[in-house]
Structure 1
Amino acid sequence: MWGKLGVTNHGSPQREAQKPSAFLSGPEPASNPVRFYEFDRFRIDTKRHLLMRDGGPIGIKAKALDTLVLLVQHAGRLLEKEELMNGLWPDTAVEEGNLTQNIFEVRKALGEAPGEQRFIATVARRGYRFVAEVRAIGDEPSARDEGSAGDGQSTLRLVAPERFARRTVIYAGVAAAIVLSLVGTRLYVAFGRSAPVISGTSSSPLRNLTRLTYGAGLQTDVSWSPDGKRVAYAWNRDGNFDIWVQDVDAGQPTRVTSSPADETQPAWSPDGQRLALRSEVDGGGLFAVDVKGGPLRRIAPDGRRPAWMPNGREVMFVDSDMPRAAFIVTADGGAAPRRILETELSRATYIAPAVHPEGRLSVFAPKLATGFFVADRTNRTLNAVDTSAAAPLGLLDPEAIQSISWNSAGTALIVEAHSDGVPTLWRVAVEPVSLRWRTPERLTTAPASAQAAAVSPDGTRVAFTSAPASTRAWLFPFDANRARLTGDGRALTDDELSIVSLRLAADGSALCYGALEPGRNNFRLFHIDLTSGRTTFLAESWGGAISRTARTIAYLLTRTGSSSTGETPSTGRESALAVRDLDGGERLVSRWRGGLLPWDWAPHDEAVLGSWVEQGQMNQNVLAIWPVGPMMATRPERVLLEASGVFFWQARYSPDDRWVSFVAQRMRNHGTVEIGIVAADSNRATTWTRILDDHVWPDKPRWSPDGRTLYFLSRGADGYVNLWGVPIDPARGAQRGKPFQVTHFNSPERRIDPNMGSAEIDVASGRLALPMQSVKGSIWLLSGVRP
C-alpha cells in the first residue's frame, strides 16, 4: 500500500519517555574508549562502523565487519567457533555455515588469497585466530567528518520487518535469487533474508526516542506542520483511514476527515491552514481540506504523494510510487493538472519520489549507476547527483532504498533503506549547490522496521512509523469456475512464520508452503494434509511443486560453495533439483549447480516445468522441462521458451495441458513484467501471446480448473493488492474478455501481502490460498538528529 505507517492514543495522553531496549541503546560505555583498530594498511572505525584501506572505505557486509572487529579485539588468541557464534548471534540459533560465510567475506574484503593466512589463521575443527599486529587507538577529537560523534551515541532498534507496499523493481523475488545464484548473478529482493545488508555509520549526537501516537490499528503517513508543533497522519481507528491532527508535545488527536472512504498521505500547506491528501471517495483522487475539518475539495482526479510547492498555491504529485508521470495542479483545483518531466520519467524505472524544498522533484533509479536524480528549478530536466559516498555502505544496492524525504533547508535527506532485510533510516547530508551526497549516518538499525519518515521543519526530529506485520497462509472456499468466494477463510499457519510460497494440490487436498521461522536463517518447506491437518517438514527450500497425484514434491535445494574451513573462496549458492515422495525419501534429479526452479509437474508426473539458467546466459533464463527419472540429469530434456534479455517465472500448465502461462520480465525495458501464454508443446519458442495489456504489473497467473479463467494479482489505485481474473479462450490460449476484480481486501487489518517478491498464491478445486497480512503500528519520534 503506502510507503508510510503511523498511530494515536485515544485513551492515554501521556507519552512514554522511556527508551525500550528493543528500540534504543544508550551511549557507548566509557570503559571502552577504543575507537580505531589499525593493522597493515587497514583501519576499522568502530563508531562509524566502517572498514578503510589506505584511508578509503571498503564495502563489507555489516555482520562480516562485526566478525572482523571481534577477531581484531582478541588478536593473537584463538576464538572457538562457538564463542564467535555466541558473540555474533547472542540470541539466535544459527548454523556454522553462517560463520564460515562471514569469515570468507572478511578474507575477501582484506584481499587474502585462497590458502593464505596473512590476517586470519584457521585452526581446524576449532576456530579462528587473528594473526596480524593490531594497534588500538582512542577517539580522535580532531577527527572531523559528517559521522563524528557528539556528546554520545544512541542506536535505534525497531520491531519486525515489513515493507509497506512499494512494488519491487526486480520482480522475481526469492525465486530469482535462488536461480540466478547458479551463474553468480546477485538479485536483491525486498524480503528479509535476501535483501542487501548495509554497513555504515552509527555515531551521532545524543538522541532521544519517544512514542508519539497510541491506539488500536495503524497510524501512518505522518506530516509536520510548518511551525513544527503538530503532526497530521492517517489512522484507521474505525476501520477506514481518516486524517487526524495532534500536538507533538501534548494533547489528544483531532479528526479532520470522516468520509467512509480512505483518506491518506496528508501534506501540510506552507501557511499551516490546509492539508492536501489522497482520498478514495467518489472514485479516488487528490483533495484539499481545512486543517480544522470541513468538506473535501477535489484538486486532481487521480495521483499520489501530494506535496505543496513553495508558493503555497500549487501542489505537485505523481501517478504512483514508481512514477511514470508527475504533475503540478493549483490547490483550488480550478485548472487541469500540468504534466512535468514527461520525457525524463519515461527513461528508467524510478522509485522514492520526493519534493525538494524549492519545489523540484527528486527520484531514485535503482537500476542505473547514478541512482539519484533531482529536477532543475523549472522541473524540465532530471539531473544526476553524485551519490558515491553512499556506495561503500551498500545504500545504492538494488532494492536497498525504499523512500527519501528532504529536510526543510534542502541540506539533508532522510533515506529509508533495507538493512538486514529491515527498513532502517539514514541521514545523508548534501552539498548546498551540487546536492552531492556526503557520508551517510545511520539513525536506526535492524532488527526492526523504521519507515515512512518525515523530518521536522528545524531538522532536529524525525517522526516515523514502526509497524510489525504478520504474513500467514490463509485458505478460502472458492468456486474458481465462477470466480466467487463461497465463505470465510481461515489461517493455516501461525503469526510467527513469514510465508514466502504457497502451492495447492490440484484436487485441493494438500498445501505446500515455504516460510522463514524466528531464529532460523534458511527457508523451510512444509506440507499440510488439509484433511487430517498433519504438517510435515520437507526440506530447507523456498517452495515446492506438488505432483498431479499429490504424492510427490519437487523443490530446489541450495548450498554454499565454500569449504567448511572458510579458506576456499565461495562460488556462490549452488543448487540442485530434488523430489520427495511423501511416503519415501528425498532424491536428487539434477547435479549440483545444474538444477532448475520448479513451478509445475508435466503430464504423467514424468518431468517438472521450471526456470533454468543456461551456462553463460547471465542476462536471461528459459522455461524448460526437466526429466524426473532414476538417473540424475545434467540438462533439461526440452527448452520450452527463451528470449534474449528476458527472465521467465511462475509457469503453470493449463488444465488440458495445451498451454503454459507464465510471467516474463523484460530486463531491457526497466525490468517490467507481463503475463503470457505459450503452447505446451513448444520447442525453443521465442514469441508468445501477451494478455492483460491494460494492467501495469499483473503477477502470479493461476488457471481455474475449467481452464476458462486465469487468475492473477494486481495492485489497485488505492495501493492494495487483490485477486483478479481474466476470461481465456481455451481453444486459442488467448484473452477473450475484460479483466475483473475478485477480492476486495482494502485494509491493513486484512490485506494480501503487498510484496510481490513473496506474495505467492494458488487456486485449486474449491480452494484459494492467499498470503494474508495484518498490520498494526504507531508513530515514534527521534529527537537530537543533526539539523
Structure 2
Amino acid sequence: MRGPIGGPDDKLYAFGPFVADPVTGTLRQDGAHVVLTLKSFEVLLVLIERRGQVVDKDVLLKLVWPDTIVEENNLARHISTLRKALNDHPPDHQFLVTVPGRGYRFVAPVQELARNEIPLHWPASEKEKPAPPPAVPVIDVDRPRLPVPARETAPFARTRAAILAAAGVAAAGITGIALLGNFPRSGTEPEAPDRKLWQLTSSGGLESDATWAPNGQTIAYSSDRDGNFDIWLQPIGDVQPVRLTSSPAHDWQPSWSPDGKFVAFRSERDGGGLFVVSATGGAERRITNFGYRPRWSPREPTILFSSSNTVRSKLYVAGADGGQLRQVLSAFLDEFASYRAAWHPDGRRISVFGAHRRDGVSFWTVSPDGTSPVRSPVGADVAIRVKKTGVSLTEFVWSPLADALYFEGRSEEAVNIWRVGVDPHTMEWRDGPERVTVGGGLDTNIAVSPDGNKLAFTVRDESTRLWSLPFDPIEGRVLAKGEPITPKGADALYPDVPPNGMYVVYRTIRRGRHELHRRSLIADDDRMLAVTGEMLVPRWSDDGTQLAFRRLLPVSPDGAPRSNAIVLVAADGINER
C-alpha cells in the first residue's frame, strides 16, 4: 500500500513492534500492514491517546460511536479483535488491560514520532500481516454507515452477520436515490409546502453519494449495478444513466466541480486515494494517495477532504491537480471531541458542527487557516424545538444562499432530513428544526440542487434478523449452517443471551410500539414480555432470572431534554421496578 503524501510532521504512535498512523487509519507491525476494521482502529486510537488512564466503556462508546446507540458487547468484540491483532494474550497483557466494571487501559510505553522519522517503504520480503480472522466474520451491527475504509473489500455491505453467544445477527438493506422538490427561498415558504418526492435511481443495487452538476440537470452518484462500485451520471428525467468510471476497484464519494468540468471521487485502486475525471469521461487522474469525502469549494478549484473515514479525521485542502496540499484547522479541531465539516457557500470558509470541549454541541464557521471563527447563535425558539423533538443532528449541508442548513437527524429509530433556517448575515439559527422527510428508514447523504429548490438523498431500507448457529467455543468455529430465529422484517435490535444460553432477548418496533421479546434457543417459542414504553438495550442478569433495560422517559411539558430510567423486571416480564 502506498504511504500517504500528507505532511512529514504528522504525528504517529510507536509501541513495541507496532506503529499506528491516525492520518491513514492504519496499523503496521515491523513495517507489515496489520488489517483492522475502521472501528477497531478508532478504539485503539482512543486508548493510545489516553494511555495509562482507565477509559470507561461509556467514554469509548461516545467517542467512537458519537451519534449511535451501540451495544457494549460490540465494544468487547473490537477489544478482542485488537488483542488478536496485537498478539496480546492472557494472562499477561502487554497492551490492553481490562479494568473490571469500568473499561480498558492501554499500558504499553508509546513514543510519538513524526512521519519522516519512520520508513514509508519496507523491504520487499516483508509480508502483509492480517489480524487472525474470527470463526465467523464479525461486522458491526450498530447503525451502518455507507463510508467504509479502503482496507475492506467493498465500501458497502449487502449483508452482515455477527456471533452473539449461540445467536447470530444479520442485517440486510437496499439503497436508492430520491429527489424532493419545492424548497422556496427563505421568507417565501408557505405554511404547508407542497413538496414532490420521486425516486431517481432504481437499479436494484446499492446507490448513494449524489452530487449535483452546476446546471442542476444531472447528478453523479456511486452504484454497484454492474458488480462493483463505479461513478454514474443520471440526467433528471427518464434518460438512462451513463457510467463515468469503470475501474475493477471501487469508485465512490463523487463531488462535481463548480465549473461543471470535473468530478472528484474516492477510489480504492492502487492503494486508495482521490481522483479526478472529466465530466464527459476519459482518463482518471490521481491527485492524492489518501483521503475520503472530497468536496469542491463552491467558488474555487479547491477540494476539501478528510484524511480518513473516522470522526477523528484530519482535514486537508488541495488544488484540482493535487498541488498546494495542506492540512487545515488543525488547532481549531483539537477543541472538538467529534465533528462534521463542509464548505460554507461563500467557498472561502469552512463550517464545523460538533461537540466542542468548552461550548458543547455548537456550529462554527471559520477560515481554513483557523482565523476569525464565528459561532452561530441559536434562537430561543429553535433551542426549545430541538429539545422537544429530541432530534440528534449529525451530517449537514448548506443551502446555496446560506439561508438554511439541512441535517441528517435521528429521532427515535428513524434518520430523516431536517431543515434549520439561518440568517445569511449573522448565521443565527432562526427557525426550525423542521422535519423534511418523514419515513421510518434512513435518509442520508443529502445534496442540495444549485438553485436550492431540490434535495437529492439516499434512502436506505434495512432490518436486523437473529440467527442461531451451532458453535464450538473450544475450537472457535461454526459447526453447521445457521437458521433464522426471528421473523423476516422484524428488525430485532439489542439482542442479549444469558450465561445459560437458553434464551435471547431483543427489542423490536411494531406499528410504532416498542416490544420486548424473549426467544427460546432450545424450543420454538417467541414470547412478547408485558413491558411498555420506549426501551433500549435489554440485558440479562448473571443468573438469567432478571432483565434490565433503559427506558426513555416522555418529553416533559417544559421541553427539557429526555432522560433515561433503568428498569428491572423478572425474566417473564413481570414485577417491574
Aligning the two structures, in what range does the TM-score lie when normalised by the shorter sequence? 0.5 to 0.7
User: Which residue identity is paired with 2:365?
Assistant: V
Q: 1:297 to 1:528 in 2, by over 3 A?
A: farther
Q: What corresponds to 1:719 in structure 2?
A: none
1:544 pairs, out of 539, 562, 565, with 539
CA displacement at 1:302 relative to structure 2: 2.5
- In structure 1, the gaps of 5 or more residues are 1-165, 177-188, 192-200, 593-787
1:460 pairs, out of 442, 453, 478, with 453
CA displacement at 1:171 relative to structure 2: 6.3
Quote the Cα distance in structure 1 between the aligned partners of 2:241 and 2:425: 39
Q: What corresponds to 1:373 in structure 2?
A: 364
Q: 1:410 to 1:517 in 2, by over 3 A?
A: closer
Q: 1:577 to 1:414 in 2, by over 3 A?
A: closer
Q: 1:338 to 1:206 in 2, by over 3 A?
A: same
Quote the Cα distance in structure 2 between the aligned partners of 1:561 and 1:170: 19
CA displacement at 1:457 relative to structure 2: 0.6
Quote the Cα distance in structure 2 between the aligned partners of 1:461 and 1:571: 33
2:328·2:369 contact (CA, 8 Å) conserved in 1?
A: no
Spell out, residue by residue over 1:667-706, the C-alpha distance to the aligned partner (whole angstroms, 9 max, x if none): xxxxxxxxxxxxxxxxxxxxxxxxxxxxxxxxxxxxxxxx
1:278 pairs, out of 241, 247, 266, with 266
CA displacement at 1:538 relative to structure 2: 4.7
Q: What corresponds to 1:364 in structure 2?
A: 353
Q: Is the aligned partner of 1:428 residue 2:420?
A: yes
Q: 1:261 to 1:377 in 2, by over 3 A?
A: closer
Q: What corresponds to 1:521 in structure 2?
A: 513
Which structure is higher in RCO with an 8 Å CA cutoff and minimum separation 6?
1
CA displacement at 1:396 relative to structure 2: 10
1:366·1:399 contact (CA, 8 Å) conserved in 2?
A: no
Q: What corresponds to 2:212 in structure 1?
A: 224
Once the two structures are superposed, the pairs formed by residues 698-713 of structure 1 within 5 Å of their partners are none
Q: What corresponds to 1:43 in structure 2?
A: none
Q: What corresponds to 2:278 in structure 1?
A: 290
CA displacement at 1:415 relative to structure 2: 2.2
Q: 1:254 to 1:483 in 2, by over 3 A?
A: farther
CA displacement at 1:262 relative to structure 2: 2.5
Instruction: Give secondary structure in 2 for the equivalent of 1:289.
Output: strand
Quote the Cα distance in structure 2 between the aligned partners of 1:570 and 1:417: 16
2:490·2:508 contact (CA, 8 Å) conserved in 1?
A: yes
CA displacement at 1:489 relative to structure 2: 4.7
2:336·2:355 contact (CA, 8 Å) conserved in 1?
A: no
Q: 1:499 to 1:251 in 2, by over 3 A?
A: same
Quote the Cα distance in structure 1 between the aligned partners of 2:349 and 2:410: 26
Q: Is the aligned partner of 1:322 residue 2:317?
A: no
Q: What corresponds to 2:104 in structure 1?
A: none
Instruction: Give secondary structure in 2 for the equivalent of 1:327.
Output: strand
CA displacement at 1:348 relative to structure 2: 1.5
Q: Is the aligned partner of 1:407 residue 2:399?
A: yes
Quote the Cα distance in structure 2 between the aligned partners of 1:483 and 1:520: 39
Instruction: Give secondary structure in 1 for the equivalent of 2:383.
Output: helix
Q: 1:167 to 1:220 in 2, by over 3 A?
A: farther
2:329·2:369 contact (CA, 8 Å) conserved in 1?
A: no
Q: 1:450 to 1:304 in 2, by over 3 A?
A: same
Spell out, residue by residue over 1:436-484, the C-alpha distance to the aligned partner (whole angstroms, 9 max, x if none): 2221344223545433221111111111222211111234555656666
User: Which residue identity is paired with 2:354?
Assistant: A
User: Which residue identity is paired with 1:471?
Assistant: T
Q: What corresponds to 2:488 in structure 1?
A: 495
Q: Is the aligned partner of 1:387 residue 2:387?
A: no
Once the two structures are superposed, the pairs formed by residues 70-89 of structure 1 within 5 Å of their partners are none
Q: What corresponds to 2:248 in structure 1?
A: 260
Instruction: Give secondary structure in 2 for the equivalent of 1:343.
Output: helix
1:241·1:263 contact (CA, 8 Å) conserved in 2?
A: yes
Quote the Cα distance in structure 1 between the aligned partners of 2:235 and 2:351: 30
Instruction: Give secondary structure in 2 for the equivalent of 1:232.
Output: strand
Spell out, residue by residue over 1:62-103, the C-alpha distance to the aligned partner (whole angstroms, 9 max, x if none): xxxxxxxxxxxxxxxxxxxxxxxxxxxxxxxxxxxxxxxxxx
- In structure 2, the gaps of 5 or more residues are 1-62, 74-141, 145-188
Instruction: Give secondary structure in 2 for the equivalent of 1:543.
Output: strand
Q: 1:430 to 1:503 in 2, by over 3 A?
A: closer
Quote the Cα distance in structure 2 between the aligned partners of 1:209 and 1:307: 26
Q: 1:243 to 1:561 in 2, by over 3 A?
A: closer
Quote the Cα distance in structure 2 between the aligned partners of 1:375 and 1:444: 30
Spell out, residue by residue over 1:464-507, the C-alpha distance to the aligned partner (whole angstroms, 9 max, x if none): 22221111123455565666667665433223322222234557
Once the two structures are superposed, the pairs formed by residues 39-54 of structure 1 within 5 Å of their partners are none
CA displacement at 1:251 relative to structure 2: 0.7
1:276·1:306 contact (CA, 8 Å) conserved in 2?
A: yes
CA displacement at 1:212 relative to structure 2: 1.5
1:303 pairs, out of 291, 295, 298, with 291
1:202·1:442 contact (CA, 8 Å) conserved in 2?
A: no
Instruction: Give secondary structure in 2 for the equivalent of 1:286.
Output: strand
1:414·1:427 contact (CA, 8 Å) conserved in 2?
A: yes
2:496·2:506 contact (CA, 8 Å) conserved in 1?
A: no
CA displacement at 1:296 relative to structure 2: 3.4
Q: 1:173 to 1:265 in 2, by over 3 A?
A: same
Q: In terms of Rg, which structure is larger? A: 1
Quote the Cα distance in structure 2 between the aligned partners of 1:392 and 1:297: 49
Quote the Cα distance in structure 1 between the aligned partners of 2:350 and 2:478: 43
CA displacement at 1:390 relative to structure 2: 2.4
2:420·2:429 contact (CA, 8 Å) conserved in 1?
A: yes
Q: 1:571 to 1:534 in 2, by over 3 A?
A: closer
1:554 pairs, out of 546, 566, 572, with 546
Q: 1:345 to 1:512 in 2, by over 3 A?
A: same
Spell out, residue by residue over 1:188-226, the C-alpha distance to the aligned partner (whole angstroms, 9 max, x if none): x989xxxxxxxxx99344332222121202221110001
User: Which residue identity is paired with 2:318?
Assistant: V
Would you say how many aligned residue pairs link Structure 1 and Structure 2? 389
Instruction: Give secondary structure in 1 for the equivalent of 2:259.
Output: coil
Instruction: Give secondary structure in 2 for the equivalent of 1:394.
Output: helix
Once the two structures are superposed, the pairs formed by residues 20-35 of structure 1 within 5 Å of their partners are none
2:417·2:444 contact (CA, 8 Å) conserved in 1?
A: yes
Q: 1:448 to 1:292 in 2, by over 3 A?
A: same
